[in-house]
Structure 1
Amino acid sequence: MLMNILKNKLLLLFFCTMIVVTVNAQDSNNSKSVEAKIESIISSLTIEEKVAMCHAQSKFSTPGVERLGIPELWMSDGPHGVRGEINWDNWGYAGWTNDSITAFPALTCLAATFNPNLSKDYGISIGEEARYRKKEVLLGPGVNIYRSPLNGRNFEYMGEDPFLASKMVVPYIQGVQQNGVAACVKHYALNNQELWRGHINVEVSDRALHEIYLPAFKAAVEEGKVWSIMGSYNQFRGQFCGHNNILLNTILKKDWNFDGVVISDWGGVHDTKQAALNGLDIEMGTGTDGLTSSTKNAYDSYYLADPFLKLLKSGEIKEEVVNDKVRRILRLMFRTNMNPNRPFGRMNNQEHIDVARKIAGEGIVLLKNESSFFPVNASKKITIAVIGENATKSMTVGGGSSELKAKTEISPLEGLKKRYKNATIIHAMGYASGPSAYDRVIPSGLDENKLKQEAIEAASKADMVLFFGGLNKNHLQDCEGSDRKEYKLPFGQDELLNEILKVNPNTGVVLISGNAVEMPWISKVKALMQAWYLGSVAGDAIADVISGDVNPSGKLPFSFPKKLSDNAAHSFGELSYPGDSINQYYKEDILVGYRWFDTKKIKPLFAFGEGKSYTTFELSKLDTDKKEYAKNEAILISGNVSNTGNRDGSEVVQVYIGKLNSKVKRAEKELKGFQKIAVKKGSTAAVSISIDVNSLSFYDESISNWNLEKGDYLIYVGNSSNTISKKIKITIK
């Protein structure tokens, strides 16, 4: 007996020492030393302890193993900031007073910067805040492709182009994870609408899957070395994505050699055997009420809980299946909460505010600027009518799981009042949507007709009008759980804007949204700015650009169709979007976004990559280093960018490539390289962009692999998908 007690104490001491021993940077990065420790721990865990690690114990945590000193694993929502603390067993907020954070711009804004360096800054900053809040997994970023402008969750993603999303997601992941916090890239895969997301079955070709919908996830794994991935709610070819054999076992874990953890979306698991055998590692959120009164220990009733344990004990599922899951979970822990060398984190500091403001300023896109309406001189004594609920409405709350408890949120109206101290600023709501919630409730005491009349009266008295319109984070707008019902602006904004233009044609529009909208009034307004959801310092960043303190340099990360039927997914009818509630067919195949508009010769309202500046740029001396290339070589495109205006500014040089006379269907051209470059007024800067020849391959379904087609290609160099300065013909030998 005494010997057994001593043996157990020595065993416990060994594991405690092993876990708290300093793990150097190499160890924490999946070294042989860590792998040996993981195997040693697995051999000492009971099967019950292993299973417990594979499912939730609360809304946002999984259990550790107390007797061995293995800690709990804590997660948080937060592609744009770390979410406020949620109760253990329900979706109510815990009421903490120390969980207010910095709200960063939405990922559509980050993508619009076309600046991977800013993406790294974003990741570092949000990772520091997650670390300070003692989170091991940050549930983001999202890289689902923008397929329809009605998708309620597009604002959380990085646009319509897989290359842009790939280039922007990698530095974000690296920035987060240098804090010892795992990024969790989501939603893998094909979660391109919120309507029926919990069950809709997506049918898409292998080619479109690999060329359009998977590249950003692949880059996250192979280049970003992401530590976790979240499965999506929907089905793919008849199997739920949260435990989909093709997506998880074959592509993710076998083809891409992903060594991290697959986490289910909350409630995304539907079957114990499939969850166990098809690649899922941690099950979250299945029992939406947590420890309910109707089921004792509801967490133990998850699919990967007692039902999984029963199949393991009966021998129907081999123990190596759970061992692989635990191995991945422990590897994640050695990278996060069992790595004592990770930094402590920081929150709500000036550096994070500065990063948020810089991203917001670089992401705002100037789309129209007739008669140099913008910038507006901040020293002028003029009367400005600021009209629209979006000038004052909080945009950090609402929207679903990405909602934030921001320490501060500066509204556009606040930002303008601070900047334009010499001007007289009058504000009228004009329209009202109600609080950020899942139902539209007009606040009591507000009359829609009266709001409209007040706005028209304000406009008639002003020298200029700034109309803040767009969408918001309410249900059926830019919000998780549902899609938009229509493409036009909600809450009577189109009609209101037309009335305002009758009394004051000197009107500019600032759209706050994460989605494209219909614009029947676009020819009548003087200017248009796409401003996204900008987070804590939204108002300051908008004032920076409107005043000219910041020269706009953002570019659209997705196309704006003139009408909904011009969008590829919608052009094929209901079976393409939104489906028949059971199945959905991606009939546009690889022709998503600008690929569709270019190839079908449909003129968009605004094109992918489009964005104006307060200065002018000229691209010149554009050429390639040679005209013939072989596979594994790099194509070097070089040239000059001249700032021919009177302000310093930044331009994004974009390189698209198309195959001439291809033997397979292709888009006219595809983005293959870009570079954002700052140029002083009157100066010229050199630009150089390198493109791997292998990236010109198409996914050949006949061999289930990538195939580089020889022959002639056309390189398009410009500053948007529809503004090309030079075409260069090359040959691949």
Structure 2
Amino acid sequence: MKYKKLIEQMTLEEKASLMSGKDFWQTQDIERLGINSMFLADGPHGIRKQAVAADKLGLNEGIPATCYPTAATVANSWNAELGEKVGEYLGEEAIAQKVNVLLGPGVNMKRNPLCGRNFEYFSEDPYLAGKMAAAYIRGIQSHGVSACVKHFAANNQEERRMSIDAIVDERTLREIYLTAFEIAVKEGKTKAIMTSYNKLNGTYTNENMHLMRDILRGEWNYNGVVVTDWGGSNDRIAGLLAGNELEMPTTAGETDEEIVQAIKSGGLKEEVLDECVNRLLDLIFTTEEAYKKPNMEFNIERHHRVSQKVAEESIVLLKNDGNILPLPFGKKVAVIGDFAKDARYQGAGSSIVNPTILDHTLDCFEESGILSIGFESGFERYGKRNKDKIEKACTLARKADVVLLYIGLDEVTEADGLDRHSMKIPDNQIELLDALYEVNQNIVAILSCGSAVEMPWINKVKGLVHGYLGGQAGARAILRVLSGDVNPSGKLAETYPLRYEDTPSYHNFPGEEVSVEYRESIFIGYRYYDTSNIDVLFPFGYGLSYTSFEYSDIDVSKTGVTFKLTNAGTVAGMEVAQLYVGCKSKDIFRPKKELKGFTKVFINAGETKKITIPFDDKTFRYFNVKTNQWEIEEAEYEIMIGASSVDIRLEDTIFVEGTGAPPPYDKNKLPTYYSGRANNVSVEEFENLLGYKVPVSKWDRSIPLGYNDTIEQCQYAKGSTARLAYHLIVFAHWFLRKIGKRSTANLIMMSIYHMPFRGIARMTGGVVNMPMLDGILMIVNGHFFKGLYHVLKERSKKNKGIKEKKQMGT
């Protein structure tokens, strides 16, 4: 062990104390041994270090920091070098704010378009997500601070996220849901990983020995720190045994005492604790080195310009009928839509950044060269109908050559802790579009949201520019694309289905009570749509440009593929060339094609470049559940170079020698998976894939509620007090939405309604401990007076203990 001598100087109690937070954002320190606290801060796309009540959990406004485009946005750049640049600037700001660990990036898969946190994740594809994440991590950690890749693993819904059990077959887990983490560990060399709240195949992820020990520590040789998501610790000893060093936030010493008692009773070996302490010390000492450098301030203007550059390269041009874009000089433009006045530029929840500067569209027109004849909001931001606003917008539109219509999703629709209820944008925005179409058909829609939406209205716009959530400089970046100062080069990192019902997980999302079944297996996103020949609105990897590119002269070797790429248009531009691989053998079910490489290239008009995309260890592999390891199937493989997953420009084949592994499946038992149409798999076939019976997915309403049951389940409680509390929470949520306090209403759902009872103890910083929680559960289960007495008795005992400790300290 690296810090063996230092650890030998610690008492058992001191070692245990390091395993949980000092408060909500800092780790414990041991002053006598020179061990300082670390500060951990939210920050996937900007630092959120609370300006006030920094020792309290909450969503207080952060110290100003650059708000970069979200991960969902930057993924559309398909530019790992750009991702690394974002990471470098995030790391620089982390040092300026004395943050040791930056809680990001998030690499969970976009299994379903309704997941409320999709704006914070890169892609539906693990290879693209992993490569972008590794780039971010390298950038952040180049300054000496630590990234913390999250949420490990299979956290693909927000509702009931602290208690839901994700049922995933082993091959799907490895190929789809762990590959991005594997790349983040092996290529990004992340120093920290955050576990997810959910269970995985019956066990909480931070206690899951297969996930944490077999795969993370064993196969990937990860030697960094594992931290829980806030309040995500269930059984502290089980977590420690699995190698989960740090529990956040503080439990005011309660779980520290559990560790001490477990070692004294023989339930936990002290060597296991020492191993965890050693890894945590390494993170503390290596990250605090970053603060010994001089001049730790950052240049606000320069970081803002970088944010703009990132946004520009991530904007996706989805439609451009009649080359309505770029806007010709002198065209009179009507600017309509509430998002033009107040930019929608980031998500909501734990990742909210307080921007150093914030560009708004209306303030940027003069420098853009676009001639605006006026602005009308056109609609109420949060969905309320307003005919007067529509009429004013139409009056302005009649006078314009082109209408720039800013539409999208509002801040409280896409949020940490909540899933969306539909893929639609609000009806009042569509009513506005319908009315505008009647008076002026030259409409360019500018879409602002962090996830896929349905677009039944798309035939009523000639141009469609998707800015996603472009950060604090996103508004100016969009105008530069509209004017032609920037040639758009973004391509979608997720598929846009025609309708939500077409999505492969439609029948199995979200998990409604105990569990969520990943019955679609490996067929998520384009893997499903392309294999099953399902029409989509926009395919994975799609994006238009103001120029055109031609592909030619493919040459495939054992080490990779080369080809020529020509800019056949009249303006310089950047093209994302994508490598897809498909196996011709039918012995193992597979998607028709899978992304296995990509590159982004700048090419001047008329220029040709020779491009090489190398093969790597992931190009031909699949996970064999019989051998329990990665194998290569001996077969002919199609090598495809495309401008999107469906726009394949060049094809060739290569024969690859296999590893000789036995076929892992009985075809006759998995007909749906072999057909690829895995959007509605029977429970029997899913069980054949899993190799065991699917656990019961419904709550057992006959048994008393316990630690891991949720506040939502109080509707079934035996105690009338608990049922009343449930109805009051539901009413408060309804009332707050009714009066327009939607953010507060969302907070109730996120932090109360779906919270398991153990969260009351884990998230209150020791105000409520587990013995007091036992009393609360007595009340919930119908023993009001007995439970109340128990709560008061344990509260008195806790306060007495605190008083005695203070007296001993003096």
Q: Please give the residue correspondences for 1:616-627 in structure 2 after superposition, counting only pairs within 5 Å.
A: 616-625=548-557
CA distance, structure 1, for counterparts of residue 360 and residue 260 of structure 2:
52
**Aligned match of 2:37:** 72
Deviations 1:476-495 (A, max 9, x none): x2211101111111252222
Q: Give the AA of the match of 1:527.
A: G
**Aligned match of 1:170:** 134
Cα drift, residue 455 of structure 1: 2.1
TM-score, normalization by structure 1: 0.87
CA distance, structure 2, for counterparts of residue 327 and residue 343 of structure 1:
28
| 1:39 equivalent in alignment to 2:1 | no
| 1:300 equivalent in alignment to 2:253 | yes
Cα drift, residue 153 of structure 1: 0.5
**Aligned match of 1:429:** 377
Match of 1:393 among 342, 352, 366: 342
Q: Are the equivalent residues in 2 in contact too, given 1:123–1:173 (CA < 8 A)?
A: yes
**Aligned match of 1:24:** none
Task: Give the 3-state SS of the residue equivalent to 2:253 in structure 1.
Answer: helix
CA distance, structure 2, for counterparts of residue 154 and residue 173 of structure 1:
19
Q: Are the equivalent residues in 2 in contact too, given 1:653–1:718 (CA < 8 A)?
A: yes
Higher helix share: 2
Cα drift, residue 250 of structure 1: 1.6
**Aligned match of 2:323:** 372
Q: Give the AA of the match of 2:503.
A: N
Match of 1:565 among 501, 505, 528: 501
Q: Are the equivalent residues in 2 in contact too, given 1:417–1:425 (CA < 8 A)?
A: no
Cα drift, residue 398 of structure 1: 5.7
**Aligned match of 2:167:** 203
Q: Please give the residue correspondences for 1:136-535 in structure 2 after superposition, counting only pairs within 5 Å.
A: 136-285=100-249, 298-301=251-254, 303=255, 305-338=256-289, 345-377=296-328, 379-380=329-330, 382-395=331-344, 399-420=348-369, 423-434=371-382, 448-474=386-412, 477-490=413-426, 492-535=428-471
Q: Are the equivalent residues in 2 in contact too, given 1:620–1:640 (CA < 8 A)?
A: yes
**Aligned match of 1:649:** 573
Q: Are the equivalent residues in 2 in contact too, given 1:694–1:708 (CA < 8 A)?
A: no
| 1:613 equivalent in alignment to 2:545 | yes
Q: CA RMSD in A?
A: 1.8
Task: Give the 3-state SS of the residue equivalent to 1:545 in structure 2.
Answer: helix
| 1:676 equivalent in alignment to 2:624 | no
| 1:667 equivalent in alignment to 2:591 | yes
**Aligned match of 1:106:** 70
Q: Give the AA of the match of 1:271.
A: D
CA distance, structure 1, for counterparts of residue 392 and residue 24 of structure 2:
46
Task: Give the 3-state SS of the residue equivalent to 1:640 in structure 2.
Answer: strand
CA distance, structure 2, for counterparts of residue 307 and residue 119 of structure 1:
42
Q: Are the equivalent residues in 2 in contact too, given 1:179–1:343 (CA < 8 A)?
A: no
Q: Could you say if the C-alpha distance between residues 564 and 339 of structure 1 is closer, same or farther in structure 2, counting changes exceeding 3 Å?
A: closer
CA distance, structure 1, for counterparts of residue 409 and residue 523 of structure 2:
27
Task: Give the 3-state SS of the residue equivalent to 2:288 in structure 1.
Answer: coil
Cα drift, residue 396 of structure 1: 5.2
**Aligned match of 1:584:** 516
Q: Could you say if the C-alpha distance between residues 259 and 112 of structure 1 is closer, same or farther in structure 2, counting changes exceeding 3 Å?
A: same
Q: Give the AA of the match of 2:179.
A: P
Deviations 1:98-132 (A, max 9, x none): x2111101111111111111011111000000111
Q: Please give the residue correspondences for 1:1-80 in structure 2 after superposition, counting only pairs within 5 Å.
A: 36=2, 38-80=3-45
Q: Could you say if the C-alpha distance between residues 329 and 688 of structure 1 is closer, same or farther in structure 2, counting changes exceeding 3 Å?
A: same
**Aligned match of 2:620:** 696
Q: Give the AA of the match of 1:700.
A: N
Q: Give the AA of the match of 2:252.
A: Y
Q: Could you say if the C-alpha distance between residues 355 and 569 of structure 1 is closer, same or farther in structure 2, counting changes exceeding 3 Å?
A: same
CA distance, structure 2, for counterparts of residue 680 and residue 338 of structure 1:
44
CA distance, structure 2, for counterparts of residue 233 and residue 368 of structure 1:
39
Cα drift, residue 712 of structure 1: 0.7
Q: Are the equivalent residues in 2 in contact too, given 1:59–1:87 (CA < 8 A)?
A: no
Deviations 1:114-161 (A, max 9, x none): 111101111100000011100000000000011111111001111111
**Aligned match of 1:290:** none
Task: Give the 3-state SS of the residue equivalent to 1:166 in structure 2.
Answer: helix
Q: Give the AA of the match of 1:387.
A: I
**Aligned match of 2:481:** 545
CA distance, structure 2, for counterparts of residue 472 and residue 270 of structure 1:
34
Query: Size of the alignment, in residue pairs?
Result: 656
CA distance, structure 1, for counterparts of residue 258 and residue 619 of structure 2:
45
CA distance, structure 2, for counterparts of residue 432 and residue 283 of structure 1:
43
Q: Could you say if the C-alpha distance between residues 392 and 244 of structure 1 is closer, same or farther in structure 2, counting changes exceeding 3 Å?
A: farther
Q: Are the equivalent residues in 2 in contact too, given 1:370–1:526 (CA < 8 A)?
A: yes
Q: Are the equivalent residues in 2 in contact too, given 1:470–1:513 (CA < 8 A)?
A: yes
CA distance, structure 2, for counterparts of residue 339 and residue 176 of structure 1:
11
**Aligned match of 1:6:** none
**Aligned match of 2:746:** none
CA distance, structure 1, for counterparts of residue 60 and residue 199 of structure 2:
33
Task: Give the 3-state SS of the residue equivalent to 1:692 in structure 2.
Answer: coil
**Aligned match of 2:670:** none
**Aligned match of 1:22:** none
CA distance, structure 1, for counterparts of residue 206 and residue 341 of structure 2:
39
Q: Give the AA of the match of 1:249.
A: R
CA distance, structure 1, for counterparts of residue 312 and residue 411 of structure 2:
21
CA distance, structure 1, for counterparts of residue 293 and residue 185 of structure 2:
21
Q: Could you say if the C-alpha distance between residues 49 and 394 of structure 1 is closer, same or farther in structure 2, counting changes exceeding 3 Å?
A: farther
Q: Are the equivalent residues in 2 in contact too, given 1:101–1:347 (CA < 8 A)?
A: no
Q: Could you say if the C-alpha distance between residues 508 and 137 of structure 1 is closer, same or farther in structure 2, counting changes exceeding 3 Å?
A: same
Q: Could you say if the C-alpha distance between residues 78 and 694 of structure 1 is closer, same or farther in structure 2, counting changes exceeding 3 Å?
A: closer
Q: Could you say if the C-alpha distance between residues 244 and 395 of structure 1 is closer, same or farther in structure 2, counting changes exceeding 3 Å?
A: farther
Q: Could you say if the C-alpha distance between residues 158 and 66 of structure 1 is closer, same or farther in structure 2, counting changes exceeding 3 Å?
A: same
CA distance, structure 1, for counterparts of residue 197 and residue 437 of structure 2:
44
- Identical residues among aligned pairs (%): 38
Q: Are the equivalent residues in 1 in contact too, given 2:347–2:469 (CA < 8 A)?
A: no
CA distance, structure 1, for counterparts of residue 37 and residue 574 of structure 2:
46
Name whichever of 424-433 and 646-655 sits farther off.
424-433
